[in-house]
């Protein structure tokens, strides 16, 4: 028994020593299994692997040749640095880069360095060719194949398909060292690629964090102080029937919804096929990293509450709030009904709690609800409106007839008494 205990003790101590240190850099996560099962395809790269999590995926190996070609172009363009310089730079940062990933990376030092260099050069070349179209070569397999750049862009927005932003910036700055006055910054070419206005940002973790930060209003509005649980179960159609006017806001921030004087202003949302994976990956990142400071989850949650049926979608499309490039309105309602599955909402710190409270107060005001019920019962069809008007006119005519009859009899009775 003593030997077995000693062996177990030694085994556990060995595992203790192998534990990777906990790091504040950790911010690139694998999708939790409960979220992956809802829609696995939304988290899987289509054409290119970035970072270690999908580097062994056989489906994506056809892009490895293109990565080598882009690395060669990158080297030829930036001749002030040799290949060995970039390798050494990555080797110096390897420990820190590995700490960005939530799981241990089972790659040797050389394999890891090669992966980071190839993927970084690929990203930088894609950004540069997008920024300077004259750099695109005649036989470029990314920019001269229909739809390929859209798929590459989509894959760069996946939480499992990331490199730390700092290493990309470091390699880019190293390549253009001494030429910073005439060359755009890495942030400049990243903003252009993702179609974002040029902004000043610091502490960017990776592209998913970059995109999330770009959506948050600046300066961020304070989170609500009200810590009560969220209670909001009113659809867009319900609100419309209660008299709420829906207007497409001109705000530049997608998250900037506002309700004043019976009007709900919502910034327009363009819905296409890649939008689904875009929001799902942002939500996973917030669920893992910003659970108590979520903005995207709260935004999608509010849309989830407002959109329940194709009729809700139709009304929002008519108001210019949703631009639907999907098959039909039913698909949009299904997306928002399913997107929130397995997502945990920190409702005590809900970003739109004040807005929901105002909408609740408006909708549940008794006379507004009665008006809504009246409209739903009597005015939901043109013939119902005509019938109601016809019945109202008949009622008014009947009342007038009765009043005239009573008045006539009273006058007749008074005349008879005077005659007597």
Residue 217 — pLDDT band, cuts 50, 70, 90? Answer: confident
Kindly report the pTM of this predicted structure.
Answer: 0.85
Q: What is the pLDDT of residue 420?
A: 46
The 10s digit of each residue's pLDDT in 36-61 is 999 999 999 999 999 999 999 999 99
Q: What is the pLDDT of residue 14?
A: 84
Q: What is the pLDDT of residue 165?
A: 98
Concatenate the DSSP letters of all residues of 246-294 into one string.
Answer: EEE---S-TT--EEETTEEEE--EEE-HHHHHHHHHHHHHHHHH-GGG-
- Decide: helix, strand or coil at residue 28: strand
The 10s digit of each residue's pLDDT in 388-415 is 676 677 777 778 877 776 676 666 666 5
Burial 296-320 (b: 16+ CB within 10 A, else e): bbbbbbbbbbbbbebebbbbbbebe
Determine contact, residues 296/278, Cβ cutoff 8 Å: no
Beta strands (DSSP E) in 249-404 are: 258-260, 263-266, 269-271, 322-324
Which of these ranges, 12-26, 55-69, 348-362, has the smallest mean pLDDT?
12-26
| CA angle, residues 290, 293, 297, in degrees to nearest 5 | 80
Please state, rounded to an integer, the average pLDDT across all residues of the chain: 88
Distance separating alpha carbons of residues 264 and 237, to the nearest angstrom = 13
pLDDT higher than threshold 50 for residue 418: no
pLDDT higher than threshold 50 for residue 419: no
Mean pLDDT, residues 265-269 taken together = 96
Q: What is the pLDDT of residue 228?
A: 61
Q: Which residues, including other chains, have CB under 8 Å from residue 17's CB and lie 6 or more apart?
A: none
Q: What is the pLDDT of residue 125?
A: 97
């Amino acid at each position: 028994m003593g030997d077995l205990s000693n062996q177990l003790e030694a085994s556990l101590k060995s595992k203790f020593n192998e534990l990777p240190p906990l790091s504040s850099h950790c911010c690139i996560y694998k999708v939790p299994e409960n979220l992956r099962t809802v829609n696995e395809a939304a988290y899987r790269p289509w054409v290119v692997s970035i970072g270690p999590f999908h580097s062994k995926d056989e489906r994506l190996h056809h892009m490895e040749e293109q990565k080598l070609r882009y690395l060669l172009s990158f080297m030829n363009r930036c001749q002030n640095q040799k290949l060995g310089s970039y390798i050494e730079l990555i080797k110096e940062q390897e420990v820190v880069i590995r700490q960005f990933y939530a799981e241990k990376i089972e790659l040797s030092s050389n394999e890891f360095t090669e992966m980071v260099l190839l993927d970084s050069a690929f990203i930088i070349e894609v950004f540069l060719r997008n920024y300077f179209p004259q750099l695109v070569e005649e036989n470029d397999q990314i920019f001269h194949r229909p739809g390929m750049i859209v798929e590459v862009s989509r894959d760069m927005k996946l939480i499992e398909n990331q490199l730390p932003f700092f290493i990309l910036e470091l390699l880019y700055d190293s390549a253009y060292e001494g030429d910073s006055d005439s060359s755009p910054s890495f942030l400049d070419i990243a903003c252009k690629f993702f179609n974002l206005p040029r902004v000043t940002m610091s502490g960017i973790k990776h592209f998913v964090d970059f995109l999330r930060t770009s959506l948050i209003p600046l300066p961020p509005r304070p989170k609500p102080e009200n810590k009560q649980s969220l209670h909001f179960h009113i659809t867009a159609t319900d609100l419309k029937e209660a008299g709420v006017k829906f207007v497409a806001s001109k705000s530049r921030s997608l998250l900037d919804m506002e309700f004043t004087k019976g009007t709900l202003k919502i910034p327009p949302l363009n819905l296409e096929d890649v939008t689904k994976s875009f929001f799902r990956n942002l939500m996973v990142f917030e669920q893992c990293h910003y659970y108590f400071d979520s903005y995207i989850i709260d935004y999608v949650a509010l849309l989830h509450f407002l959109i329940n049926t194709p009729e809700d979608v139709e009304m929002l499309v008519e108001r210019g709030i949703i631009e639907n490039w999907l098959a039909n309105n039913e698909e949009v309602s299904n997306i928002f009904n399913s997107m929130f599955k397995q997502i945990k909402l920190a409702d005590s710190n809900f970003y739109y709690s004040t807005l929901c409270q105002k909408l609740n107060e408006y909708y549940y005001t008794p006379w507004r609800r009665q008006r809504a019920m009246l409209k739903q019962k009597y005015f939901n069809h043109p013939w119902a409106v005509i019938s109601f008007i016809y019945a109202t006119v008949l009622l008014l005519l009947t009342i007038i007839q009765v009043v005239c009859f009573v008045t006539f009899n009273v006058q007749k009775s008074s005349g008879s008494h005077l005659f007597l």
